[in-house]
Amino acid sequence: MRSEALYRFQLARAGRRAALQTSNISPSEYQRRRLANMLAMLDGREAGATIRELAFTLVYPNSRLLRGAEWKASGEKRHVLRLLKSALNLRGGGYRAFPGFDRSI
């Protein structure tokens, strides 16, 4: 991604236009929403939000609140934990595995 961005910057500096945006630098709409949601989850955790609060404010805002044993055994909880684990992995350097990421820059 960085090499693509650098290439586009150099073209812009030279007054030339880049070709249409390539897929390796532009995530899909689903990926953008998922990444934005994961960033919001990281922010929420930094602010002290619980997993359940994240689940029913960010991931499942239109669902009814699950309580007790129902929440403990729910697929919603497992899904939110997987998203949070992915977000923590990205924050810890996992973003370098994105397609198009050039480690040399």
Q: Which stretches of 14-67 are DSSP H helices?
A: 29-46, 51-54
Tens of pLDDT along the chain (105 residues) come to 566 777 777 878 888 766 655 555 677 889 889 999 999 999 999 999 999 999 999 999 999 999 999 999 999 999 999 999 999 998 998 877 776 666 665
Q: How far apart are CA 54 and CA 11, in angstroms?
A: 42
Q: Where are the domains of the chain?
A: 28-97
For 51, residues 6+ apart whose C-beta sits below 8 A from its C-beta are 77, 80, 81, 84
Token output for 43: 């922010």
Cα–Cα distances (Å) from 90 to 9, 13, 83, 97, 104, in that order, read: 25, 31, 11, 9, 19
> Angle between the 75-91 and 29-46 helix axes, to the nearest 10 degrees?
90
